[in-house]
Amino acid sequence: MQRSYLKCVVLCVVLTFSIPFCVEADTLTGKDEGIYRFHVNVEGAEGYVDGQMVGVVKNGLLDLPLSESGTPYRTYSFQKEGYYTYNGVINSVPAKGQVLHIYATMTAMPMIEYSRVHLLVSPPDAKVTWDGEPAREVPPTGILIIYNVVPGTHTVKVTKDGYLPIEQVLNVARNDVMRVPLTLQPVALGSITFESVPPGASVFLDGQFRGMTPLVLHDIPAGSHSVTLTSDGFQDKISAVQVTGGGNTLVSETLNPATPVPGSTRAAISPLVLAGALAVAGILFVSRRP
């Protein structure tokens, strides 16, 4: 009798502790939905299925239940800054209670080690073009810093009125601070003396009116320039002049009379003669009236 009592007590204890575990096991194995389980090597990557975001990777996993309508998913992708987008195709559908494992290995993009370029420009207040795009003007300090420069080949151009432009190709290394001295050379200046026969002709230098002959122009940049002399009743005189730095160039021209256009010459009628003719015509008209 005592043994039977002990057996009953032991059986009750066993049943008391075994019931919760049995329930938990039934719950785990009794799920009626399928699951897509994505295994991704990048923590925090965003998951997209058929173009819709479905979650973020945590602890290397992202679970997605089968859609309520039962419609199978077709495509998936994972995205994260600094990584190439991973794209894949879903070819299977998990059955009820089944886990379909899908593995995605994302590849990191190459890290760009940006550099800085210090342009040491003399004189300052010059204009800078970087890879064909306008940059900031050089400050009074003469130092212009170009930030976040991608390693590789770049072109810098510096210009300023009264100075010859500078264009230079730079090969920028990774994670570097590059110092580039750029010294502008002043444009050589000369003068031009203009004379004409007859005098008083209008002088146009490079298309701009500069005065009447005789004329002397100073501080003209060295190089080739176009000259046009014009005067009423004379043909325009167009020529090119080469100015040398520190020198004076003489432009002396004899203007040719303008050639009248055939058929365009008409006898000039004096206003007094015209008035007299009109008066005579009026008298004749009145005298003929009955």
pLDDT digits (tens, 9 = 90+) for 249-263: 999 999 999 887 565
Q: What is the mean pLDDT of the chain?
A: 83
Q: Which of 158, 183, 208 is the last residue of a domain?
A: 183
Q: Give the model's pLDDT for residue 279.
A: 61
E strand intervals along 96-254: 99-104, 115-122, 127-130, 133-134, 143-149, 152-159, 166-172, 177-183, 189-197, 202-205, 208-212, 215-221, 223-230, 237-243, 248-254
Q: What integer pLDDT is reported at residue 105 of this predicted model?
A: 97
Q: How many domains does the chain have?
A: 3
pLDDT digits over 191-245, tens only? 999 999 999 999 999 999 999 999 999 989 888 999 999 999 999 999 999 998 8
Q: How confident is the model at residue 107 (pLDDT cuts 50, 70, 90)?
A: very high
Give the C-alpha separation, 35 to 50, whole Å: 16
Range of the domain at 227: 189-254
Q: Beta-carbon neighbour count of residue 275 at 10 Å?
A: 10
Q: Give me the CATH number covering residue 92.
A: 2.60.40
Evaluate if residue 101 carries a pLDDT over 70: yes
126 with 152, same domain?
yes
26 assigned to some structural domain: no
Residue 50 lies in a domain: yes
